[in-house]
Amino acid sequence: MLIAELLAKKGAEVATVATGALISEVVAGLAAHGVGALVVSDDAEHVDGIVSERDVVRAIGRLGAGVLGEPVRAIMSASVYTCEPDETVDALAAMMTEHRIRHVPVLSNGELAGIVSIGDVVKSRIDELEQDRKALEHYITAR
């Protein structure tokens, strides 16, 4: 399955936050959208970074609750792994595993086109296995 097909099923909406937003706004955005990461982007088209729940928790653990008043650029990951819509979900899964990342923005012609989480990858794989099981079951019982 291609990333484009996965996005067609799940949707291409991406929750973003500006680089100057406060970490408290990140927390509110994560909760409001029910997601584990926000793409950091000042124009909602280009990726400036990514910030996850894990980044927030680690920052609070290191620096205390006062960090919530700091800008997101203080804790975001500026180096972001991305993928393109024509890549396969299997290749993305390998990249996520190799680099131990859970959220990957999808870029089309250099612009934000979606985001894929490890949960999306797992769901896609389970769906494929279920289709294979049904096809095998049909093959066996149709004989």
- Total of domains in the chain: 1
Q: Which domain holds residue 96?
A: 3-141
For residue 65, what is the domain's CATH number?
3.10.580.10
Of the listed ranges 8-12, 15-19, 38-42, 65-69, the one predicted with least confidence = 8-12
- Distances from the Cα of 73 to the Cα of 23, 45, 139, angstroms: 9, 17, 55
Across residues 107-135, what is the average pLDDT?
92
- Rounded Cα–Cα distance for residues 29 and 67 (Å): 16
C-alpha closest to that of 26 among 8, 53, 66: 53
Write out pLDDT tens, residues 43-97.
999 999 999 999 999 999 999 999 999 999 999 999 999 999 999 999 999 999 9
pTM to 2 decimal places? 0.88
